[in-house]
Amino acid sequence: MKVIESLAEIEIPFENAVVTIGNFDGVHKGHHSLMDAVIKKAGEIGGTAIVMTFEPHPLKVLRNGSSPPLITLYEQKKERIEASGIDVLICINFTEEFAALDPEYFLEKILVEKIGMKAIVAGRDYAFGKNRKGNIDFLKAMGGKLGYQVVLPDWIECLQEGDRISSTRIRETILSGDVGRAASMLGRYYQIRGEVVRGRNRGGKLLGFPTANILFQDELCPKYGVYAVTAEIDGKRFDGVANMGVSPTFGDDMFTAEVHLFDFSSDIYGKKIKVDFIARLREEKKFSGLDELSAQIKKDAETAREILRELKR
Ligand code: RBF
Ligand code: MG
């Protein structure tokens, strides 16, 4: 996939460009359906399958930095879009000046003339630009004159409101800890990425369960509690059990994200780690002592092993 991060890089329009435009936070199943429609249409007209997205998230610019916590940061978003089979990702640097562009100018000068758009794939309620002027009616009305088609995938009409997959619903689901349901909407597990940092050396010494403490970049943290996870380090995947929270047994109220990896003893301080949340096991609890906590972690590890073993069958 070709990644274009500035419109100035585009010297000549793409061959029969088929475009879909959006924030694509989470790159979930709904987004994948749109991208599949783009790829299908591009196949039909011998064209280029293009996704246009924005960075930073428009709400970060328009609402003075307050935006919902992102499900996927740019790096992960790019990877997921690439995995869908899209030919070109155009990422627009979203600024107040860009936001102020007249939708008609954006459509004619940028999408049609610069990018060479011959078809646009739009979801339901689709609209871009100031005051959401660039909606489906507007796109349809301009299509004849500017020489592009509007493709509205027919599955969109059949969707019941309750079945609609949205980034908002996925965020809520992750915040509520239901990572299994989040996975069913994402089409993959919710993943955070970060670096293994030094903890307080309590896990191994006091409890017999050493943990990799993670300083993660992601904005969205699953609800505090214990989860069955898999983790990727140096391109290898490991099973484990994670605790997200403040370890209330210790009463120091310090947030940690930590993973105990099964059958693992390497030194991984400073390494990059990706953690997939497979299933939620329980709430975090305050135990009356270390033995009780340690016994519970042992049970958690067994439960997680069982869940992960089932998955591989
Ligand atoms: N700490 C708690 O205070 N309460 C818990 O319920 C709790 N559950 C945990 C479950 C797992 C699977 C793991 C790995 C850790 C858990 N911890 C919990 C955190 C534990 O106190 C921590 O790993 C050590 O303090 C080392 O940082
Ligand atoms: Mg630790």
Q: pLDDT of 251-299, one tens digit each?
A: 999 999 999 999 999 999 999 999 999 999 999 999 999 999 999 999 9
Confidence tier at 29 by pLDDT (50, 70, 90): very high
From the CA of 240, which ligand is nearest? 1
CATH of 189-312, one of 3.40.50.2000, 1.50.10.20, 2.40.30.30, 3.40.50.2300: 2.40.30.30
Instruction: Tell me what pLDDT residue 85 has.
Output: 98
From the CA of 269, which ligand is nearest? 2
Residues with CB under 6 A from ligand 1: 199-200, 202-203, 207, 209, 211, 226, 241, 243, 247-250, 256, 258, 260, 284-285, 287, 293, 297, 300
Instruction: Tell me what pLDDT residue 153 has.
Output: 86
Give the residue, by CA position, lying nearest to ligand 1 atom 18: 247
The tokens describing 242, both together, are 């994670």
Pocket test of ligand 1: the residue of 207, 226, 247 to mutate, having most ligand atoms within 8 Å of its CB, is 247
b/e code 1-38 from CB counts within 10 Å (16+ = b): eeebeeeeeeeebbebbbbbbbbbbbbbebbbbbbbbb
The answer to whether 292 and 203 have CB atoms below 8 angstroms apart is: no
Asked if the bond preceding 153 is cis, omega within 30° of 0, the reply is: no
How far is ligand 1, taken at its centre, from the CA of residue 279, in Å? 17
- For β-strands 256-261 and 236-245, DSSP reports them as antiparallel
Assign domain 2-151 to its CATH architecture.
3-Layer(aba) Sandwich (3.40)
| Cβ atoms < 10 Å from Cβ of 80 | 21
CATH 3.40.50.620 residue ranges of the chain are 2-151
pLDDT tens digits for 154-178? 766 555 566 789 999 999 999 999 9
308 has pLDDT over 90: yes
Which ligand 1 atom is the nearest neighbour of the CA of 213?
Answer: 27
The C-alpha atoms of residue 187 and residue 235 are separated, in whole angstroms, by 21
- H or E element: which one contains 145? helix 136-146
Q: Which of these, 85, 88, 21, lies nearest to 58 by C-alpha position? A: 21
Instruction: Tell me what pLDDT residue 293 has.
Output: 98
Average pLDDT, the chain: 95
From the CA of 210, which ligand is nearest? 2
Find the mean pLDDT for residues 35-58: 97
The C-alpha atoms of residue 46 and residue 86 are separated, in whole angstroms, by 14
The answer to whether 87 and 116 have CB atoms below 8 angstroms apart is: no
Which ligand 1 atom is the nearest neighbour of the CA of 250?
Answer: 3
Which ligand 1 atom is the nearest neighbour of the CA of 258?
Answer: 14
Q: Which of these, 213, 199, 271, lies nearest to 242 by C-alpha position? A: 213
Pocket test of ligand 1: the residue of 201, 211, 246, 286 to mutate, having most ligand atoms within 8 Å of its CB, is 211
Pocket test of ligand 1: the residue of 238, 293, 299 to mutate, having most ligand atoms within 8 Å of its CB, is 293
Instruction: Tell me what pLDDT residue 158 has.
Output: 56
pLDDT tens digits for 90-131? 999 999 999 999 999 999 999 999 999 999 999 877 888 878
The tokens describing 253, both together, are 């109220």
Which ligand 1 atom is the nearest neighbour of the CA of 282?
Answer: 6
From the CA of 212, which ligand is nearest? 2
Helix, strand and coil in the chain, % to nearest 5: 40, 25, 35
Instruction: Tell me what pLDDT residue 126 has.
Output: 85
pLDDT tens digits for 230-244? 999 999 999 999 999
Residue at 166: amino acid letter: S
CA-to-CA separations, 179 to 56, 184, 298, in angstroms, rounded: 26, 9, 22
Instruction: Tell me what pLDDT residue 105 has.
Output: 95
Which ligand 1 atom is the nearest neighbour of the CA of 284?
Answer: 6
The answer to whether 25 and 60 have CB atoms below 8 angstroms apart is: no
Widest pairwise Cα distance in the chain:
74
Find the mean pLDDT for residues 61-71: 87
Question: What value does the CA radius of gyration of the chain take, rounded to a whole number of Å?
Answer: 23
Residue at 106: amino acid letter: F
CATH 2.40.30.30 residue ranges of the chain are 189-312
86 has pLDDT over 70: yes
Asked if the bond preceding 56 is cis, omega within 30° of 0, the reply is: yes
Residue at 99: amino acid letter: A
Burial (CB count within 10 angstroms: exposed 0-12, middle 13-18, buried 19+), residue 173 = buried
Instruction: Tell me what pLDDT residue 139 has.
Output: 96
The C-alpha atoms of residue 131 and residue 94 are separated, in whole angstroms, by 16
The tokens describing 131, both together, are 């005051």
Give the residue, by CA position, lying nearest to ligand 1 atom 20: 247
How far is ligand 1, taken at its centre, from the CA of residue 243, in Å? 6
Lowest-confidence region among 15-24, 72-81, 120-129, 230-239: 120-129
The answer to whether 242 and 202 have CB atoms below 8 angstroms apart is: no
